Amino acid sequence: MSVGSQTPAAVTFYRAIPSCRAPLRADPSVFGTLPTRGFQYCEALRVASSFGWYAFVPMEFSLQWDGSQVIWTYEGAKDWYPLTTAQFPGYQAVFNRLAPKRLKGLAPPFLTAVPALGIIQIWTGLMIQSAENWSVLIRPPANLPRNLGFDMYEGIVETDHWFGPLFTNIRLIKTDVPIHFSTEVPLVQIQPLHRSAYAEDVSNRFDVIESPSEFTDDVWSRYEDTIVKPNLDAQRPVAAYATSVRRRRKGSCPFGHADAPL
């Protein structure tokens, strides 16, 4: 069941590393980093920021890449170590104690490196499963300033039938400087996607109106109502779009969840 609700959860997280930080509902203020005006009046910004959940690294650690080899260190370590594949410190023993006998010795790695390319796979310490026909988009946290030391790849995983570690892949950019990963900063944002939303048929089915000369009266009227009239009205209410969206959101979307604007 979902937290604070009797509705079955669309996504279930499993803390495979018991000490890892639990997922957190994404924050519309992005931990207070959004400009106050944007947070108060820009509903599009708020909805994008709060869509899904944050997942964090399970421990503090740092990476450094010289363009060929990756080395790493972590809180409590005595030195830097070459990185190819690394287990979360002490986790193999925990996994072997708790896993069925047939799975002993098969704990997922915490970090895996493709050194020459600077690509690192990072495990959050979580495993993930979703309801039937729901997938998850694993992406950088929305509207959170990026770490300039690396880029993050995005991926959609059909977690209703694929059960496994919740990980992400990054590409190191800076060389010869330590790049730190903190348990206080979200590593990824996980967003639920109904499979119908990214079906090939949906992405292939779109129209383009080539010129304003082809705009219909209805299109011009919609532009007038949305853009022109509000900006000519000196008495227009603040955040009219946010108000109208929140009113509409009281309805339901086709999948039984609150409607939200694109």
Rounded-to-integer distance, Cα 107 and Cα 99, Å: 9
What pLDDT score was predicted for residue 19? Answer: 95
Rounded-to-integer distance, Cα 173 and Cα 75, Å: 23
Quote the pTM value. 0.85
Kindly report, residue by residue over 139-194, the tens digit of the pLDDT. 999 999 999 999 999 999 999 999 999 999 999 999 999 999 999 999 999 999 99
C-beta of residue 138 within 8 angstroms of C-beta of residue 157: yes
41, 44, 46, 51 alpha-carbon torsion, rounded to 10°: 170
* Residue entry with tokens 């990824």: 188
- Confidence label for 116 from pLDDT (cuts 50, 70 and 90): confident
Q: The dihedral of CA 165, 169, 175, 181: what is its sign? A: negative
What pLDDT score was predicted for residue 245? Answer: 62
Name the residue among 162, 211, 154 with its Cα closest to residue 188.
154
What pLDDT score was predicted for residue 230? Answer: 86
Name the residue among 75, 109, 72 with its Cα closest to residue 92.
109
Identify the structural domains of the chain with CATH numbers, from first to last: 11-201 (2.70.40.10)
Kindly report, residue by residue over 214-228, the tens digit of the pLDDT. 999 999 999 999 889
Asked whether residue 257 carries a pLDDT value surpassing 70, the answer given is no
What pLDDT score was predicted for residue 244? Answer: 64
